[in-house]
Homo-oligomer: A and B are copies of this chain.
């Protein structure tokens, strides 16, 4: 690799002049600029970002800490974030935490000081630990859980999204709407479940429908997967409790429910309507295709990077602790609306 020095010699100018041209600074004559540009091209010079970072103390590398990459929500979130980071001229270093507080902390201890910023989807972190993280490196959380510690955060419209889902069901004439995925442990890391249940209650209230505890299904583990969804739905069916719709708090739960409902010989949506949350690809390709709430992944990525950028550049005097809630979108498909769309369609 050629260095700035090589370019300077070749162009017959000083080091600093090359630096000026490279960084687009003013006060360089057009003629000099051309000479330098030519030399840069000839030598295929590329600035050494390591050296640049050392000198400026600014780092164009941000960390992205996620529990997993193999779950559709996280991998598509990661994709969006990487695209957005590129727009900001930032490079993304991905770390997996597996949802373990110790791993989340270790990562920050290890890499934090050498990162320009950090986007984290915290799982196990306590309030105190969250503060430690945010003190080590400019941080933005992507999380449904609110932290006491003041950290900038981007969240989904959990409550409003489910509320709209229930409203949609009601508008189609369904009245005995089950909720799938509730949590009654009250543990803070299950905030998404709590907020979505709140939204479910809101939706019922909007419609003047009663809240029936027997229609609210908890699932065995905090993992919202198809098996849990399927098992939960089977319990409801076997319990003989009448219902005509299911609002699941995640697409995976909804897909499991879909399976159990169909296995029980019930037609979807003629006899039972089903909807999910997340709008994953699986929802689009399911049979029937699944109505779902799209949480605005692109916006989440955009907002998260905007907040982080502010912090990194110090271009904001507001205290950390800002909250942005992304807009959601209700994506209606066959599982609530019937056979209008073709299988696999949007």
From 268 to 282 in chain A, residues with beta carbon under 8 angstroms from any chain B beta carbon are: 281-282
Q: Are A91 and B91 in contact (CB under 8 A)?
A: no
Name the segment of A92-100, A157-165, A174-182, A194-202 touching the other chain.
A92-100
User: Is A147 at the interface (CB under 8 A from chain B)?
Assistant: no
Q: Are B70 and A75 in contact (CB under 8 A)?
A: yes
A173 to chain B, nearest CB (A): 28
Q: Are A227 and B285 in contact (CB under 8 A)?
A: yes
A326 to chain B, nearest CB (A): 18
From 22 to 54 in chain A, residues with beta carbon under 8 angstroms from any chain B beta carbon are: 46, 48-51, 53-54
| Complex Cα spacing A59 to B51, Å | 12
Q: Which residues of B contact A74 (CB under 8 A)?
A: 75
Q: Residue of B at shortest CB range from A48?
A: B114
A23 to chain B, nearest CB (A): 17
User: Is A259 at the interface (CB under 8 A from chain B)?
Assistant: yes
User: Is A214 at the interface (CB under 8 A from chain B)?
Assistant: no
Q: Are A72 and B69 in contact (CB under 8 A)?
A: no
Q: Are B285 and A226 in contact (CB under 8 A)?
A: yes
**How many positions in chain A have a CB within 8 Å of any CB in the partner chain?**
43
Q: Are A83 and B70 in contact (CB under 8 A)?
A: no
Q: Are A70 and B59 in contact (CB under 8 A)?
A: no
Q: Are B79 and A96 in contact (CB under 8 A)?
A: yes
A148 to chain B, nearest CB (A): 24
Q: Residue of B at shortest CB range from A46?
A: B113
Q: Are B114 and A50 in contact (CB under 8 A)?
A: yes
Q: Which residues of B contact A292 (CB under 8 A)?
A: none
User: Is A10 at the interface (CB under 8 A from chain B)?
Assistant: no
| Complex Cα spacing A150 to B110, Å | 36
Q: Are B96 and A82 in contact (CB under 8 A)?
A: yes
| Complex Cα spacing A48 to B109, Å | 12
User: Is A190 at the interface (CB under 8 A from chain B)?
Assistant: no
Q: Are A114 and B69 in contact (CB under 8 A)?
A: no
| Complex Cα spacing A95 to B85, Å | 11
User: Is A168 at the interface (CB under 8 A from chain B)?
Assistant: no
- Among A54, A78, A79, A282, the one with the most B-chain Cβ atoms within 10 Å of its Cβ is A79
Q: Mark A59-97, 1 if CB is under 8 A from B, else 0.
A: 101000000111010111011001100000001111110
Q: Mark A303-346, 1 if CB is under 8 A from B, else 0.
A: 00000000000000000000000000000000000000001100
Q: Are A227 and B75 in contact (CB under 8 A)?
A: no
- Cβ-neighbour of A91 out of B54, B76, B93 (below 8 A): B93
12 additional contacts (CB under 8 A) given A48-B54, A92-B93? A1-B113, A46-B113, A48-B114, A50-B53, A61-B93, A70-B72, A91-B111, A93-B93, A226-B285, A227-B344, A259-B343, A282-B282
Shortest beta-carbon contacts, A-B, top 6: A75-B75, A227-B344, A70-B76, A69-B79, A69-B75, A226-B285
CB<8 Å pairs between A and B, sample of 26:
A48-B114, A51-B54, A61-B93, A69-B69, A69-B75, A69-B76, A69-B79, A70-B72, A70-B76, A70-B281, A72-B72, A74-B75, A75-B75, A78-B94, A79-B96, A92-B93, A92-B94, A93-B93, A225-B285, A226-B285, A226-B344, A227-B344, A230-B343, A259-B287, A259-B343, A282-B282
